[in-house]
A and B are shown apart, each in its own frame.
Chain A
Amino acid sequence: MTWRRPLLTTVLCVLALSPFAFSRQARPKADNAQMRTQGAKQNASEGEKRFRTNCGRCHNAPEEISPREARAVVRQMRVRAMLSAEDEKLILQYLAP
């Protein structure tokens, strides 16, 4: 009988605090997802800028390019246009988000 009351109190406390615990875990997850989306948008925007700066001064952007094709195209442009590894990464994120 003596051990039932502390156990019941502990279970009730855990149940009472659990929404806070979950909400506290959930909020950073939402923030992380939001930050990742913002980061991806920023990278895509920076990638578009790098594309205009480097590729756009010699030729137009391809009208349609699938993500499957983009990797080979950007790799080739890295060699041809002497892009840095960072340029390659950002332009790839822009062409194949």
Chain B
Amino acid sequence: MKYRWLLSVVLLFGCSVRVQAQENVPILSGGAGFFGAAQGGVHFYQPVLAPVLTVPLGEKWLVESRADLREFISRENGTSGPYQGKFFGTLEYLQLDYLANSHVTITAGRFLTPFGIFNERLSAIWIDKFQDPPVIAGIGTGRGYSDGFMLRGPLVATPGYQLNYAVYFSTLSTVNKFESQRGTGGRIGIFLPRTRLELGASYRRTLQGGGENFQGVDLSWAPYAAPVEIKSEWAHSDGGHGYWIQASYRLSHLTGRDSGLGRLEPVIRMQQFFRSKPVPDDFLPTGNLQRPEFGLNYYFPHEIRLNGSYARQYFSNTTDSNVWEFGITYRFLFPLWPGGSK
């Protein structure tokens, strides 16, 4: 009799887990791509896979993770010799989120450092409109991620404006593949939904070595009236300061978003970096740099995108060079276990 009772409990638990599982289906999404570039006679190619795992747990919890797996293929001696490949695997984030309330989300684990807008929002290969990140992307973010905890969310959310914030503390880690710097910082932004204009300010202080301060300001504007996006960042560190500004314009208003011409998106970006003093391992150019860029993105059906770009790089430490890049990305998304469409 007691076994029957136990069996009932097990069956009931199984049913409840199944019901919850149907509501909270883990998904595997992300992007796959193949990139090629030519700069000053040197050619290199990169097949990339960036899977994103998302596991919602109940109503308040979320586990999410993204990795970047790529092979860097180039000639042995730069411009001559056989091609050889080197594999790079990076765990960009693996975090547990607790949605405490509408204003606070508590995050623990490895997360993308909230500094500016590029690192958190635009760095995914299926979002970034250029193949290369901005040259100042290393300011305030270092490797791009932090290990520790973070509080974030919308502080105030009204129809007229939203004030959002992110503050974090990162611990020092020297474990192979899990390195991170000890530091603290955050970002605060004001977003105007009616005009889709956002202004943000970021700060970071490293709490190891001599301690270094980083400051940044960002702007993002996507007017409703036209398919235009303008994004920009300025950032400052002890080693130097710089900016990038990018504008893209999808030709969807001419013949429709799904037409042949409407899938085309020209994009331009200008960036400059000014070196103040040499700082080892700061992920920044060793000298002053200017880089105007022009690119074209073409959005095929089924989440496939082709892109190509040309840049002229003026670098104070070496001769100027042309940079040609092309790439194809595919964005995928599917549930981790099979089921109906509902």
A interface residues with partner B (beta carbon < 8 Å)? 52-54, 56-60, 62-63, 65-69, 71-73, 75-76, 78-87
> Quick one: closest A residue to B197, CB to CB?
A57
Which residues on A sit within 8 Å (CB–CB) of B64? 76, 79
Distance in Å from the Cβ of B258 to the closest Cβ of chain A?
10
Give 8 CB contacts A-B under 8 Å: A54-B193, A58-B122, A62-B331, A66-B341, A72-B54, A72-B56, A82-B153, A86-B102
B interface residues with partner A (beta carbon < 8 Å)? 22-27, 29, 54-56, 62, 64, 97, 99, 101-103, 105, 107, 120-122, 126-127, 152-154, 157, 162, 164, 166, 193, 196, 198, 220, 222, 224, 229, 299, 301-303, 331, 333-335, 339-342
Which residues on A sit within 8 Å (CB–CB) of B154? 82-84
Picked from B99, B121, B335, B342, the residue with its CB within 8 Å of the CB of A78 is B99
Task: Find out whether the CB atom of B99 lies under 8 angstroms from the CB atom of A66.
Answer: no
Q: Beyond A66-B341, A66-B342, A67-B341, is A72–B25 a contact (Cβ under 8 Å)?
A: yes
Which residues on B sit within 8 Å (CB–CB) of A52? 224
In Å, the complex CA distance between A58 and B303 comes to 15
Task: Find out whether the CB atom of A69 lies under 8 angstroms from the CB atom of B303.
Answer: no
Query: Which A-B residue pairs are the 3 nearest by beta carbons?
Result: A57-B222, A85-B102, A82-B164
Task: Find out whether the CB atom of B105 lies under 8 angstroms from the CB atom of A73.
Answer: no
Distance in Å from the Cβ of A40 to the closest Cβ of chain B?
16
In Å, the complex CA distance between A70 and B335 comes to 10
Q: Beyond A57-B196, A76-B62, A79-B64, is A68–B25 a contact (Cβ under 8 Å)?
A: yes
Which residues on A sit within 8 Å (CB–CB) of B224? 52
Task: Find out whether the CB atom of A69 lies under 8 angstroms from the CB atom of B25.
Answer: yes
Interface hub of B24, B27, B122 (most chain A Cβ within 10 A): B27
> Quick one: closest A residue to B98, CB to CB?
A79
Picked from A58, A71, A83, A85, the residue with its CB within 8 Å of the CB of B56 is A71
Picked from A53, A62, A76, the residue with its CB within 8 Å of the CB of B193 is A53
In Å, the complex CA distance between A87 and B25 comes to 20
Task: Find out whether the CB atom of B56 lies under 8 angstroms from the CB atom of A79.
Answer: no
In Å, the complex CA distance between A78 and B162 comes to 14
Which residues on B sit within 8 Å (CB–CB) of A54? 193
Picked from B24, B122, B299, B303, the residue with its CB within 8 Å of the CB of A72 is B24
Task: Find out whether the CB atom of A63 lies under 8 angstroms from the CB atom of B301.
Answer: yes
> Quick one: closest A residue to B111, CB to CB?
A79
Distance in Å from the Cβ of A69 to the closest Cβ of chain B?
5
Task: Find out whether the CB atom of A68 lies under 8 angstroms from the CB atom of B152.
Answer: no
Task: Find out whether the CB atom of A72 lies under 8 angstroms from the CB atom of B55.
Answer: yes
Task: Find out whether the CB atom of B220 lies under 8 angstroms from the CB atom of A57.
Answer: yes
Task: Find out whether the CB atom of B157 lies under 8 angstroms from the CB atom of A84.
Answer: yes
In Å, the complex CA distance between A86 and B158 comes to 11
Which residues on A sit within 8 Å (CB–CB) of B220? 57
> Quick one: closest B residue to A65, CB to CB?
B333
Q: Beyond A57-B222, A57-B229, A84-B157, is A67–B303 a contact (Cβ under 8 Å)?
A: no
Which residues on B sit within 8 Å (CB–CB) of A82? 105, 152-154, 162, 164, 166
Task: Find out whether the CB atom of A69 lies under 8 angstroms from the CB atom of B342.
Answer: no
In Å, the complex CA distance between A60 and B329 comes to 14
Task: Find out whether the CB atom of B122 lies under 8 angstroms from the CB atom of A73.
Answer: no
